[in-house]
């Protein structure tokens, strides 16, 4: 597992309606979007694993561009993200996360679809593990992945959050037609 050892990791608490999400970035890009209404400890624990020895620095100004785009997404006004990311993961995880970004807004794919997209059709379980390790919820849309039968399956943010995101995209897509 690739980790980074930076001196500072910048964070902010994004508040939108009844949502609270901790987000974090390096100077290069977004590295973490937390689960809906989870405590700060979720970010602290993730930082210890992926950025050992780094200092968490609250910096609302530095995170403002990320807050703007994520808020626009939650309002149903943004379908893609333009802010920079700094993925911290293995090459396999990064390939999976890149494939997730190719799933069109308002649509879903199965774990098998993602395994096939990265030319690893037998790696469905490994794909599931990589999706579960996605550090930037919402922006790398792992919520768009369902079981082969179309049923909702695990999600780091919880199935309630996954359902809310899929419903938001479905509503925004139907409003734009």
Bridging pattern class, strands 145-146 and 55-58? unpaired
Q: Average per-residue pLDDT in the chain?
A: 91
| C-alpha span between 164 and 168 (Å, rounded) | 6
Q: CB–CB of 136/14 below 8 Å?
A: no
pTM, two decimal places? 0.89
Confidence (pLDDT) at 177: 53
Q: Average of pLDDT values for 123-143?
A: 93
Q: CB–CB of 65/23 below 8 Å?
A: no
Confidence (pLDDT) at 88: 84
Q: Report CA-CA distances (Å) from 58 to 65, 111, 122, 143.
A: 15, 36, 42, 27
101 is catalytic: no
On the question of pLDDT at 3 being above 70, the answer is no
On the question of pLDDT at 4 being above 80, the answer is no
Of the candidates 30, 63, 142, 166, the residue annotated as catalytic is: 142
Confidence (pLDDT) at 28: 93
Confidence (pLDDT) at 137: 92
Segment (H or E) for 11? strand 8-16
Q: Report CA-CA distances (Å) from 10 to 41, 63, 83, 131, 154.
A: 15, 7, 15, 24, 28
Q: Average of pLDDT values for 141-165?
A: 89
């Amino acid at each position: 597992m690739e980790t980074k050892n930076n001196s500072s990791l910048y964070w902010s608490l994004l508040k939108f309606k009844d949502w609270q999400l901790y987000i974090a970035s390096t100077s290069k890009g977004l590295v973490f979007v937390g689960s809906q209404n989870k405590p700060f400890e979720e970010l602290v624990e993730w930082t210890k694993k992926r950025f050992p020895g780094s200092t968490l620095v609250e910096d609302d100004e530095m995170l403002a561009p990320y807050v703007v785009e994520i808020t626009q997404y939650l309002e149903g006004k943004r379908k893609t993200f333009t802010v920079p990311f700094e993925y911290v993961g293995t090459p396999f995880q990064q390939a999976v996360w890149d494939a997730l970004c190719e799933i069109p807004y308002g649509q879903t794919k199965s774990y098998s679809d993602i395994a096939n997209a990265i030319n690893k059709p037998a790696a469905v379980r490994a794909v599931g593990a990589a999706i579960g390790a996605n550090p930037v919820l919402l922006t790398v849309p792992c919520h768009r992945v369902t079981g082969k039968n179309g049923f909702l399956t695990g999600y780091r943010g919880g199935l309630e959050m996954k359902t809310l995101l899929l419903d938001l995209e479905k509503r925004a897509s139907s409003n734009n037609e």
